[in-house]
Amino acid sequence: MISRTTAVALAMLHMGLEGVIIGYITGSVAALITALAFIRGKLPKPTHNASLKPILKFSLPLLLSSLTVLILSQADVVIITALTLDYSLTGVYYIALNSVTSSPSSGSQSQPRYFQRFQPNTASKNQKT
């Protein structure tokens, strides 16, 4: 959220692509510093007698699942770029897609109408009216 806000602000200040890149980097560094400040002293001290085999056995399926989700979530952008060969059109699509799919509100207002009827709260509201 910080990265996007900073990137948009710098882009609106006519800094162009460089402003967007600087905004994303600045936001990511600010988020990292904030996260490190919150977890400082709360994590246990590492021990060197732990075996890596159970950790890798547990995390390998998670890694594969994460890579699959990453590939599937970016496939539409790759396909649009390949079909149109127009990076500016792909950029507009990507910005529009991100503005719709990642809304800061977590309520049902940010969800499409067809997802709302599967929510437990909205189903009970529909039955009462």
Q: What is the pLDDT of residues 47-93, one digit of tens each?
A: 777 787 888 888 999 999 999 998 888 888 889 889 988 888 888 88
Quote the CA–CA distance of 34 and 47 in Å, as a whole number: 26
The SS3 call for residue 35 is helix
State residue 2's pLDDT score.
65
In this structure, is residue 35 part of a structural domain?
yes
Q: Are residues 54 and 33 in the same domain?
A: no
Q: Are residues 96 and 57 in the same domain?
A: yes
In this structure, is residue 128 part of a structural domain?
no
Question: For residue 45, what is the DSSP state?
Answer: P
Q: Are residues 38 and 56 in the same domain?
A: no
Full residue range of the structural domain in which residue 3 is found: 1-42
Res. 110 pLDDT band, cuts 50 70 90: very low
Does the predicted model carry a pTM greater than 0.85? no
Q: Dihedral angle at the C-alpha atoms of 15, 21, 25, 30, nearest 10 degrees? A: 40
Q: Say if residues 9 and 20 touch (Cβ distance below 8 Å).
A: no
Q: Are residues 37 and 57 in the same domain?
A: no
Q: Are residues 28 and 66 in the same domain?
A: no
Question: For residue 109, what is the DSSP state?
Answer: G
Our count of domains for the chain comes to: 2
Q: Are residues 29 and 65 in the same domain?
A: no
Q: Are residues 76 and 93 in the same domain?
A: yes
Following DSSP, what letter does each residue of 62-84 receive, concatenated? HHHHHHHHHHHHHHHHHHHHHHH
Q: Are residues 29 and 1 in the same domain?
A: yes
